[in-house]
Amino acid sequence: MFQSLTNASWTRGWVDFQNDAYVKGLVVGAVAALILSNPSMQKKTLTGLASLWGLFQGGMEEIKERFRDAEAEMQAAARGAVPTGEDDGPSPEA
């Protein structure tokens, strides 16, 4: 019963540079340690993330606006009046 425990290397697989997952984990861990331990890196990282979040929100608002425009065009087409997007102003007959 104890023979399998004494023959097993309990550290086997801890350091395996041949394994892609190990190398990726090592790099991600090193970057995380750098960011978490360095205040200037924290500030730069948070500034960058805030900038990306702002771009994402702006993109989502643009998509929502286009969706609302398409929805309004479909409703106008269903009523029989397709908007041209131009305001002709008052009619010349008035």
Instruction: Convert the pLDDT of each residue in 29-77 to its tens digit.
Output: 999 998 889 999 889 989 999 999 999 999 999 999 999 999 999 999 9
* 82 CB burial (10 A radius; 0-12, 13-18, 19+): exposed
> DSSP states of 52-65 as a string?
HHHHHHHHHHHHHH
Instruction: Identify the pLDDT of residue 11.
Output: 63
Nearest to 13 by CA among 1, 31, 28, 25: 25
- Identify the band that residue 14 occupies on the pLDDT scale cut at 50, 70 and 90: confident
Radius of gyration (C-alpha) of the chain in whole angstroms: 31
Instruction: Identify the pLDDT of residue 12.
Output: 67
